[in-house]
Amino acid sequence: MIVAGIDGGSRTIKVALWDTEARALIATAIRDQGVHQNRLAEELLEEALERHGLDRQDIEASLATGYARHLIDIADRKKTEITCQARGVYHLCPEARTIIEIGGQDSKLIRLGDNGMVEDFVMNDRCAAGTGRFLEVLATRLETTLSGLEELVRPSQEPAVISSMCVVFAETEIIGLLSTGVSPADIATGVERAVAERVMAMAGRRVRSPVVFTGGVALVPGMRDALAEALGHEVLTCPDAHHSGAIGAALLAAETF
């Protein structure tokens, strides 16, 4: 039996296909988000199915998650991203006890019990300063890409201090630092530290090791190290950080049967 998980994130939409008999992930797919989430989800699902010689009739159940989940009508059921991230990350990293998920527009910290169930969580969805959007603004101002930040954060010797709590003001601060001759490497490292410090402030006393980092920002060079330094804990990167929410959604869809 094939089930599907669809994660309608703020920046991208992801699909995961799970074979319940083989107990295996058979496909994932990702695409930039847009205005017509349901249509994008349908197209992405078809793409993933065709790649593996399947069609829509092969799917027995589907579940949508993410901020756009209520707009994805092709899914049979909907669940919050907290529930789906917890299920997906625990499947990929059973040792996880704290999950830090940073996406394009929000960040979350989820604490798991020994059985993988959510014990509590905290979420920042009101300010982009601790999210991927902050890093996108940084990359644009430094005339690079998110993956290109790797070449900048490594040689930094004196990270800049980014004091603004708002992305708009932080962008102005970055422009000011560049105009005074602060190196792009020091600015990039400073911004990553600022993002990590905002996550640390959100975390409070909720951090319990092992800590697993997921979401698109987990793939940005330097962010895992910045988080580990800020939290004072070793931080592991989830093996499939982009798709952990969609994988969790697929696993939860399978449990309906």
* pLDDT single digits (tens) 101-159: 998 778 899 999 999 999 999 987 556 556 777 788 888 888 888 888 877 877 777 88
Q: 184: which residues sit within 8 A by CB, 6+ positions away?
A: 142, 144, 152, 178
Residues 36 and 151 in one domain: no
Domain count within the chain: 2
Residue 254, pLDDT above cutoff 90: yes
Residues 154 and 226 in one domain: yes
Residue 257, pLDDT above cutoff 70: no
Residues 172 and 99 in one domain: yes
Residues 15 and 88 in one domain: yes
Residue 205, pLDDT above cutoff 80: no
Residues 195 and 226 in one domain: yes
Render pLDDT for 215-237 as a digit per residue (tens, 0 to 9). Answer: 989 998 889 999 999 988 899 99
Query: Among residues 140, 152, 218, 216, which one has the least CA distance to residue 183?
Result: 152
Region 166-188: mean pLDDT is 85
Residue 177, pLDDT above cutoff 70: yes
Residue 22, pLDDT above cutoff 80: yes
Residues 85 and 139 in one domain: no
Residues 142 and 179 in one domain: yes
Residue percentage of the chain with pLDDT more than 90: 52
Residues 190 and 206 in one domain: yes
Domain of 178 in residue numbering reads as 94-238
Residues 76 and 101 in one domain: no
pLDDT value, residue 129: 59
Residues 25 and 49 in one domain: yes
Residues 139 and 249 in one domain: no
- Higher-pLDDT residue of 213 and 153 is 213
Render pLDDT for 64-83 as a digit per residue (tens, 0 to 9). Answer: 999 889 999 999 999 999 99
Q: Domain with 75 in it: what CATH number?
A: 3.30.420.40
DSSP string computed for 137-204: HHHHHTTS-TGGGHHHHTT-SSPPP---SSHHHHHHHHHHHHHTT--HHHHHHHHHHHHHHHHHHHHT
Region 232-248: mean pLDDT is 95
Q: What rounded mean pLDDT belongs to the chain?
A: 89
pTM of the model: 0.90
pLDDT value, residue 210: 96
Residues 123 and 50 in one domain: no
